């Protein structure tokens, strides 16, 4: 058997968020899902939809 390199394939789907079709990356191993504040504003979502959390997110990559 030869050595081989496996390259991960990124998975994106178009998701309807409040009537805006938005491309989102699907990460099946993720514990959280994020949207940038600029994307949040672009989607014309109400600020009262934002929730404060005491959790700090960090990356292990």
Residue 49 pLDDT more than 70?
yes
pTM: 0.57
Residue 27 pLDDT more than 80?
yes
Kindly tell me the sign of the dihedral angle through the C-alpha atoms of 37, 60, 16, 54: negative
Arithmetic mean of pLDDT, 14-39: 86
Q: Which residues contact 25 (CB under 8 A, 6 or more apart)?
A: 10, 11, 12
């Amino acid at each position: 058997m030869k050595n081989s390199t496996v390259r991960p394939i990124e998975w994106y789907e178009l998701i309807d968020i409040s009537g805006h079709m938005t491309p989102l990356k699907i990460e099946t191993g993720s514990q959280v899902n994020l949207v940038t504040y600029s994307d949040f504003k672009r989607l014309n979502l109400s600020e009262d939809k934002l929730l404060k959390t005491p959790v700090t997110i960090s990356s292990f990559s």
